[in-house]
Amino acid sequence: MSEQPPKGDAPDPPGVDDIDELARRLREAEHLEPEVRAEAADLLGELTAALDQPSAHTEDLAQSTAQLVRAVNEQHKPGLIEAARERVEEAVARAETTAPVATDIVLRLIDVLSGIGI
């Protein structure tokens, strides 16, 4: 017999665990300014909290955001980072009516990254 999580204790949607881990890594990313690291990591923490109602759109938003942050953190080539950013913007457009708080946080994260040329 498999154990079921208690009702009300839904597992985190895919991508949320990645976002938590990426926030931790981002705080240690020496190639970014300390203020940018802190602000971006804080926004990722807010995003994790905002993704408490999983749906196809929020899962896509979480996964595409995680891919963008991973690309920035691992200092991928600019073309790859730009493609990841475009995927995030597309995910925001799909999710904004069903997850307005999460999409607002992601847009703020994009603004922070734009401030450093990403």
> How far apart, in whole angstroms, are the C-alpha atoms of residue 107 and residue 90?
11
Tens-digit pLDDT string for the chain (118 aa): 434 333 344 444 446 778 888 888 888 888 888 999 899 999 999 999 888 777 888 889 999 999 999 999 888 999 999 999 999 999 999 999 999 999 999 999 999 988 887 7
pLDDT 10s digits, 13-24:
446 778 888 888
Q: Which amino acid is at 104?
A: D
Residue 103 CB burial class (10 angstroms; 0-12, 13-18, ≥19): buried
> How far apart, in whole angstroms, are the C-alpha atoms of residue 82 and residue 51?
24
> Which among 8, 17, 13 is positioned nearest to 99, based on CA atoms?
13
> How far apart, in whole angstroms, are the C-alpha atoms of residue 107 and residue 113?
10
- Is the dihedral angle over the CA atoms 28, 30, 33, 36 positive or is it negative? negative
As given in the structure block, the two tokens for residue 65 are 């955001």
pTM, to two decimals: 0.80
